Amino acid sequence: MCCSGFLKVMMFIFNGGIFLAGACILGVGVWVKVDSSSLLGLLDNVEGTPSGLSQLVNVAYLLIAVGAVLLVIGFLGCCGAVRESRCMLLTFFSIVLIIFLIEVAGAVVLLVFKDSAKQVLVHLEDAVKKSIKENYGNIESFTSLWNATMTEFECCGYNNYTDFSGSRFNMGHDLYPVTCCNETICTTDNAQLSMIGGCFTMLLQLIEENTVIIAGLALGIAALEVAAMVVSMVLYQNIGNKA
């Protein structure tokens, strides 16, 4: 009886952690989905973007799905322990096992992507610059997206203000987007003095800083899920012995 009570407490602890992790992952997924001014959104407007990189925006849907399922299984595990339901515990174990395998695979993909991110972004340089020259100041949606991105991340172009030289916005004028300067009127001299960094440098930095954290969090949740699966199977066996 004492052992059974201890196992129930452990199930509450593990599933409480899984429930909170699910809420966090769901929140991140929703944020990525609704953040239409994200740097990743610019990839859809760049000719020659590698399909694998442009599909990374779909990770938002995966995060939402995983987060929602974690919320459900956290609740399911607690109910199964309280009601001593073998069916609920077995269902809990099966779902957690599937999520565990997905998370491990996702963590590996993130770590691999981190190592290749710089090469991919270097490969995109010419395509992004060409896209800026042809479309910035010419296509309203493209121009608005770049302006929103540069404002949000406090950056300018791919590398710097020179990426806008020869664009429809700059053609025949000594002017650059205001985000490329620390002045209200952005001329070549002001842009040179301001030295605002490029947006894709910011993206690379963002990727490098966060992929390890995200992968580590996923592996931490996976370890928690393994412990929950072990406890659920022990409870499942104990309930069966009682019957």
Domain boundaries, the chain: 2-242
State mean pLDDT over 56-75: 75
How far is the CA of 180 from the CAs of 97, 146, 151, 163, in angstroms? 49, 12, 9, 11
176 pLDDT band, cuts 50/70/90, is very high
Q: Which residues contact 21 (CB under 8 A, 6 or more apart)?
A: 70, 217, 221, 224
User: Burial, 126: exposed, middle or buried (Cβ in 10 Å; 0-12, 13-18, 19+)?
Assistant: exposed
In angstroms, rounded to a whole number, what is the distance separating the alpha carbons of residues 176 and 62? 38
The per-residue pLDDT for 45 is 56
> Residues 201, 118: contact at Cβ < 8 Å?
no
37 pLDDT band, cuts 50/70/90, is very low
Which tokens is 93 given? Answer: 């174990």
36 pLDDT band, cuts 50/70/90, is very low
pLDDT digits (tens, 9 = 90+) for 196-227: 988 877 877 776 676 667 667 777 777 877 88
In angstroms, rounded to a whole number, what is the distance separating the alpha carbons of residues 156 and 202? 10
pLDDT digits (tens, 9 = 90+) for 143-160: 888 888 888 888 998 889
The per-residue pLDDT for 6 is 75
In angstroms, rounded to a whole number, what is the distance separating the alpha carbons of residues 127 and 45? 10
In angstroms, rounded to a whole number, what is the distance separating the alpha carbons of residues 40 and 198? 14
Cα-based angle 68, 72, 77 (whole degrees, multiple of 5) = 145
pLDDT digits (tens, 9 = 90+) for 136-145: 888 888 888 8
56 pLDDT band, cuts 50/70/90, is low
Model confidence at 50: pLDDT above 60: no
What's the predicted TM-score (pTM) here?
0.53
**3-state secondary structure at position 118:** helix
